[in-house]
A and B are shown apart, each in its own frame.
Chain A
Amino acid sequence: MRMWSIAGREFASYFRTPVGWVVLALYLLLSGIAFAGTLEPGAPATLRGLFGASQWLLLIVAPAISMRLVSEELRLGSIEPLMASPVGDASIVLGKYLGALGFLVLMLGVTLVHVGVLEAVADPEYGPIATGYLGLLLTGALYLAVGLFFSSLTASQVLAFLLTFCFFFGLHLLSTQGALTLPEPWNEAAYKLSLAARLGDFAKGVLDTAHVVFFVSTSLFFVVLAALALESRRWR
């Protein structure tokens, strides 16, 4: 229950400050533009345009969602009463993660409007749409987990944002450039790190368990790291 209280507070706090609304509006506007661009007579009735654009939009939007999770508590000092309340560090971190995840789900949920539009004007295939959303959700969840981890390291939200962004931007460069330039078998390994490639499969309608396991396990890994980072404050 305590974890859910924290999740609830986090989720609600996105709507108590302008940041949440701005992030939401920005994402919907830009993803809407991307979607509208793919709406042409004769074009396939898919959301691949939306998914393709969203993975890049999320690179900015997700760190903006996650940056405040722990950093703000560190800056305000409100981490002190939080850590003095009878809640485990893992529950604190997990609660915050779930709150942010809830916001992500809501944000992606609003884009279901586009599915309605497709349905109205054409006859879309629902398989790839469902897997595409799943892929987007898993990607966003990973972005948030890494963002949560960096947020737990610093009291500066700006720094938490930049570290998260640079992490994924670096990962993208490594996976694309690495796949092209590195020698065997490193190029293969680099390609495995490519989130875009994995998301591409989802958008095509391919539901690969390996991808799901990859996203879920790496997300959990970073959530655990964040919990350890918070707990380490008790040792210092």
Chain B
Amino acid sequence: MIDVSGVTKHYGSVRAVEEVSFRVPRGAVVGVLGPNGAGKSTTVRMIAGTVPPTRGSVSVDGLDSVADSEKLRRRLGYLPESNPLYPEMRVVEYLRYRGRLHGLGGREGKRAVDEAIERCWLGEMRRRRIGALSKGYRQRVGLAAALLHDPSVLLLDEPTSGLDPAQIRETRSLIRSLAGDRTALIVSHALAEVEKTCDRLLIFAGGRLRAEGDAEELVSKHGPGNVWDVSVELKNGLTRGELLKRFGAVAGVKSAVERASDGPVGEREKTGSASASGDGDWLDAVVTFTEERADAGERLGAVAASAGLGVRRLGRRAASLEEVYIGLVSSARDDAAARSAGDGVAAGDAAEQQAPEASGAGDRAMEGVS
């Protein structure tokens, strides 16, 4: 289990990580997602014990990252960002060496290395010099080194960076097969990869943890909300405008606009009714409710039924994780802008309180301060 509580890391005046708290339960595979400079790698380094937190604490299986650092490191399998290796060593030499650093010598070490080589499909490369390997193989060497001492916690920072799609797929299934009952934290900025590999996601931006949960939770909590796509027949003398007005009048509806043809996400709503896109007799509308309502679909259906209109489509829009991610990241950027505008004072706390928090993640982030 990984327990990160109220962790902050400042490098001089640079705030790499601010008040981050989360837990990774035993056996869970959790993805850490975020744009460059979001504080992902710094957080992982603090868990690995190579960087101490400025404030807050990190523990792995109950071992503190500063006080019990060495014991903690025994349980960790760590693949750092950029996967540094010694190019002049042969694969098997390097793995034997990394094994010995974990106290695996002699026959035991040899067996561990052979196993890791087999698991990471490095058999043919075992006598090759690391410097002569392709990036994909090097990545596997890094992975093999991270897991050869059978760690209970895996920290993998960008395990698939620089790999081609086939290799990414292989590595992904390798990670899944390795995970087993291990706790794993996987850093990435490739959403699709993390979504497929991980049970839960942590979304970082601007040094803060913005959101966490599984994909479904994230979408329902941080997605655009209760949004419905409605496609109804236009007849009985009803105009688009009138019909939209009727949808807008339904209890709990925030807005009802005509849907633009397949524009990019987020642009659709903005275009509104001005762009006539319906194919003559149909109105395609996007109806947003202010909150979750169990009877939303029924109410919209009733509008059409009362006017005697046929309904071609009536369905709740499934927001994609990508939209959620982009929304969180851009609101983090707005926060940063607001902070730098209202800042100038060295005391971070005052500035932080001025900055509007993006989401529920902000509330938990503030807990550790007082």
Asked if A84 contacts B76 (CB within 8 A), the reply is yes
B78 in the interface, Cβ–Cβ < 8 Å?
yes
Q: Chain A nearest CB: distance from B326 CB in Å?
A: 31
Tell me the interface secondary structure of chain A in the complex.
Answer: helix
* Identity of the chain A residue whose Cβ is nearest the Cβ of B89 in the assembled complex: A16
| A40 interface residue per 8 A CB criterion | no
A44 within 8 Å of B by Cβ?
Answer: no
* Interface hits, B77-107 → A, CB 8 Å: 78, 80, 82, 84-86, 88-89, 97-98, 100-103, 105
Least CB distance from A95 to B in Å reads: 10
User: A1-B103, A2-B100 are contacts. A84–B86 as well, Cβ < 8 Å?
Assistant: no
Q: How far is the CA of A80 from the CA of B85 in the complex (A)?
A: 10
Among A56-64, A85-93, A109-117, the stretch that binds chain B is A85-93
> In the complex, what residues of A have CB within 8 A of residue B78's CB?
80-81, 84
**How far is it, in angstroms, between the C-alpha of A236 and the C-alpha of B71 when the chains are bound?**
21
**CA distance in complex: A16, B18 (Å):** 44
B residues 58-84 near A (Cβ < 8 Å) are 70-71, 73-74, 76, 78, 80, 82, 84
Give a binary string over B125-162; 1 marks a CB under 8 Å from any A CB, 0 the rest. Answer: 00000000000000000000100000000000000000
On chain B, the residues within 8 Å of A83 by CB distance are 49-50
B32 within 8 A of A: no
Interface check B278, CB cutoff 8 A: no
Interface residues of A in 68-118 (CB under 8 A from B): 76-88
CA distance A81 to B101 in the complex (A): 10
Residue of A nearest to B51 (CB): A234
Contact string against A for B residues 97-125, beta-carbon threshold 8 Å, 1 for contact and 0 otherwise: 11011110100000000000000000000
Contacts of A209 in B (CB 8 A): none
Q: Given A76-B86, A235-B52, are A86 and B145 also a contact pair (CB < 8 Å)?
A: no
Other A-B pairs beyond A2-B100, A234-B50, 15, CB < 8 Å: A5-B97, A9-B89, A13-B86, A13-B89, A78-B84, A79-B84, A80-B48, A80-B50, A81-B145, A83-B49, A85-B73, A86-B73, A87-B101, A234-B49, A235-B52
Q: State the 6 A-B residue pairs at the shortest beta-carbon distance, nearest first.
A: A77-B84, A5-B100, A16-B88, A78-B84, A85-B101, A80-B80
B→A interface (CB under 8 Å): 11, 45, 48-52, 70-71, 73-74, 76, 78, 80, 82, 84-86, 88-89, 97-98, 100-103, 105, 145
